[in-house]
Amino acid sequence: MAFRQKPVEEQVIVITGASSGIGLATAHAFRARRARGLVLVARNEEALRSIADELSGGRTYAIAVAADVSRHEDLERVANMAIDTFGGFDTWVNDAAVALYGSVAEIPMKDQRQLFDINYWGVVDGSMIAADHLRHNGGTIVNVGSVLSERAMILQTQYSASKHAVKAFTDGLRMELESQGAPVSVTLIKPSSIDTPYVEHARNYLDRETAVPPPAYDPHLVAKAIVFAAEHRRREITIGFGGWVIGAMGKVAPRLVDKAMEWTGHGSQTTDHPERPAMRDNLYQAREDGDIYSSLPGEPRKTSLLLEAQLHPFLSAAILAGIAAGVAALFVTPWMVGARRPRREVRRRPISRYQHTIRRSGNGHDKHTFGPGHVSQRVASEGRSQPRH
């Protein structure tokens, strides 16, 4: 069913994982667009209330709902709070996630199940609750996956598997809603390495502090993509060319990427930089929150041409066409000019009346002749043979 997504200024948005990182950056981005209402969801109630107070003002009113997305009843309470406070919601963003670093053999199965309860089942529950509400009035579901939805990362096997599952679920939900004619847009957001407290919140089984593989991108780029998806139907949006390349290469040359990760995986995901211990390990309970960025050194990339190309495909196509035309003019035009240049006429010397020529004789033999006026010097022996009597 065709439907029109509301402008952000008229929307109420539910954001899970809103107390830090991408979720917090997204809340700020919706606030900057003067969204009507924000329903901020996370386990850290204290940090969440402080954020809600900060973002409330002007046309925007934000409320904090402490909830654990691995608990179905908590998510139902979130939806009810949005309905009671604002009369409903227009966009639901499933962003909450946790991480594990370590080899599969070392990580207890209990931890692996807990990660899936949050990263996968939290998205499933949130999406189904959102779909039940949005199918009546229309709206958007945004699921935050990862470029690891396409390519598993060594030492983050469980996280990669959960994001693969999120992608499959998101694709299946989109098809079912479309087949039912439900006025619901479903978008999968796939960030590359993002500079957030994700690495500090992770439970770590490695021998060093954790990091994301370079290059790292600014979380506000992901927030920009999420806000865009709230107003425009998009199937998927990928942030960061670096992560996209890894996914593409994984399809073309999977064994080569396997080996590259085996050689560089540990070094690219660890650091000697001391991280904030109060943030470490939020697998089972909330830890320190309230920051968009990690404490790791270095500036993240503030731009992503790949993202801009996806948000503005027609403009990008026009720019590429212009570049192609410029290249064609640079290389093809000189060749065309050379091809069209008239050939210089070659003046032929007139043939002398005494110039040696070749005359074709009727019997098929060629005879050398000379011009008119030539007196034959043929000797008698060169004459026609006479018959013998």
Write the pLDDT tens digit of every residue in 294-309: 999 999 999 999 999 9
Cα–Cα separations (whole angstroms), residue 311 to 74, 224, 231, 324 = 34, 10, 11, 21
Backbone angles phi, psi at 66, to 5 degrees: -70, 125
The CA distance from 14 to 284, in Å, is 22
3 vs 350, residue with greater confidence: 3
Token pair belonging to 231: 């107003």
pLDDT, mean of residues 262-271: 95
Omega into 215 within 30° of 0, i.e. cis? yes
Write the pLDDT tens digit of every residue in 95-106: 999 999 999 999
Q: Give the three-state DSSP class for 92.
A: strand
Neighbours of 159 (CB within 10 A): 23
Helix locations, the chain, DSSP H: 21-32, 45-55, 72-86, 109-119, 121-137, 157-179, 198-201, 219-231, 241-252, 254-268, 305-311, 313-340
Write the pLDDT tens digit of every residue in 163-186: 999 999 999 999 999 999 999 999
End-to-end CA distance of the chain: 114
Question: Tokens 């399809």, residue?
Answer: 251
Q: Give the three-state DSSP class for 124.
A: helix
Catalytically active residues are 159
Token pair belonging to 202: 């992770």
Range in 138-142, 346-350, 384-388 the model is least confident about: 384-388
The pTM score is: 0.81
pLDDT band at 383 (very low <50, low <70, confident <90, very high): very low
Running DSSP on this structure, what letter comes out for residue 384? P
pLDDT band at 349 (very low <50, low <70, confident <90, very high): low
Residue 357 has pLDDT above 50, yes or no: no
List, as one string, the DSSP characters of 280-333: S--SSS--S---SS-S-SSPPB---HHHHHHHSHHHHHHHHHHHHHHHHHHHHH
Question: Tokens 């809103």, residue?
Answer: 18
The CA distance from 41 to 43, in Å, is 7
pLDDT band at 389 (very low <50, low <70, confident <90, very high): very low
pLDDT band at 198 (very low <50, low <70, confident <90, very high): very high
